[in-house]
Amino acid sequence: MPTEILRCCVIDDEPLAGNLIGGYAERTPGLSLCGIFTSAQDAYPAISSGEIDLVFLDIQMPQLSGMELVSLLPEDTLVVFVTAYDNYAIEGIKSNAVDYLLKPVSYGEFLGAVNRAFARRGAVSRKDVPEDKTTGTEYEVAPGDNEHIIVKSEYRHRQIRKKDILYIEGLKDYVRIFVEGEARSVMTLLSMKTLEHNLPISDFMRVHRSFIVNLSKIHTIERNRLLVADKAISPLVTHEIPVGDSYRQSLATYVASHCVNPSD
């Protein structure tokens, strides 16, 4: 996780555009959204007082433009311009902005800007930035203590005991964590690689490109699949997990090392 939180705000006189960027900020670990403003004048008191670290700023606004506001900001305030016009790019570069995003802004582009903001601040390394196909980087899950992990899910942080995890399924940009006794999985913006790194290899194994299993929850092992049992639900519920070709040997080694009646 980042070593610090960046307090941010969004300034855009178009409410839909401002709410979009604000929604991106709310779902991104490491950012704390302090407000969405429709004018530079409304936002200026909070920014000038030092309460804001990062500003997502529209350029063309009435009364006080984004470029004019930048000249009034504290020197250490990070700025990401968000605009529908590309003709301000040179001015944006001259103002030492972190990034210059053209509307409509995708979440991947937003994460790229967040990456550069953290790099500019020097608070974290690149491995601590959210994963997205456009950035190739990601946030690490908070390690918590040796028994728990903490992940961000649905705008909240969820603490999960490692021993309660049944298995993890990787999707395109997210992972689903299936917890013993819970009907709903916990979905979070994270890569399989990062989550695998934060789980003990003695207790968890990746058995497929898209699946990590808790070894203690395995009920049945076959050549091409596993059955993972949720013993907290009665009657017993099992989940079928495929075994990938490139992971089959690791699983076979695990079976051989734990089998009390190995074949001759």
Section 139-145 average pLDDT: 49
Indicate the pairing of strand 237-242 with strand 204-208. unpaired
Sequential DSSP letters for 3-44? SSPEEEEEE-SSHHHHHHHHHHHHTSTTEEEEEEESSHHHHH
Q: Is the pLDDT of residue 130 over 70?
A: no
Q: What angle do CA 259, 260, 264 make, to 5 degrees?
A: 80
Distance from C-alpha of 51 to C-alpha of 158, rounded to nearest angstrom: 27
User: Which pLDDT does position 141 carry in this prediction?
Assistant: 53
Task: Please report, to the nearest 10 degrees, the dihedral formed by the alpha carbons of residues 103, 127, 145, 155 taken in order.
Answer: 10
The residue-averaged pLDDT of 166-173 equals 86
> What value does the mean pLDDT take over residues 118-139?
49
For range 180-200, the mean pLDDT: 86
The span from the CA of 112 to the CA of 163, in Å, is 34
Structure tokens given for 60: 């063309």
Taking each helix axis from N to C end, the angle separating 15-26 and 107-121, rounded to the nearest 10 degrees, works out to 60
How far from the centroid of its chain's Cα atoms is residue 188's Cα? 7
Locate 75 and state its tokens: 């020197």
Alpha-carbon separation of residue 222 from 121, 219, 240 (angstroms): 50, 10, 11
What is the model's pLDDT at position 86? Answer: 60
User: Hey, what domains does the chain have and what are their CATH numbers?
Assistant: 6-128 (3.40.50.2300), 148-258 (2.40.50.1020)
pLDDT digits (tens, 9 = 90+) for 57-107: 998 887 777 778 888 888 889 999 998 876 544 454 445 688 888 888 898
Length of the chain: 264
Read off the pLDDT of residues 10-45 as tens digits, 9 standing for 90 and up.
999 999 999 999 999 999 988 999 999 999 999 998
Q: Residue ranges of the alpha helices (H) in the chain?
A: 15-26, 40-48, 66-70, 89-94, 107-121, 192-197, 248-258
For residue 96, the model assigns a pLDDT of: 66
pLDDT for 155 equals 59
* Mean pLDDT, rounded, for 112-125: 74
What is d(CA 85, CA 256) in angstroms, rounded to the nearest whole number?
Answer: 63
- Mean pLDDT on 191-198: 85
Q: In what order do the strands lie in the sheet with 99-102?
A: 31-37, 6-11, 54-57, 78-83, 99-102
pLDDT at residue 228, as a whole number: 95
What pLDDT is recorded for position 181? 92
**Looking at residue 140, what is its pLDDT?**
44
| Averaged pLDDT for residues 215-236 | 91
Backbone phi and psi for residue 112, each to the nearest 5 degrees, phi listed first: -60, -40
Q: How far apart are the C-alpha atoms of 135 and 129, rounded to whole Å?
A: 9
Contact between 194 and 140 under an 8 Å Cβ cutoff? The reply is yes
pLDDT computed for residue 109 by the predictor: 87
Instruction: Provide Rg for the chain, Cα atoms.
Output: 23
Mean confidence (pLDDT) of the chain: 82
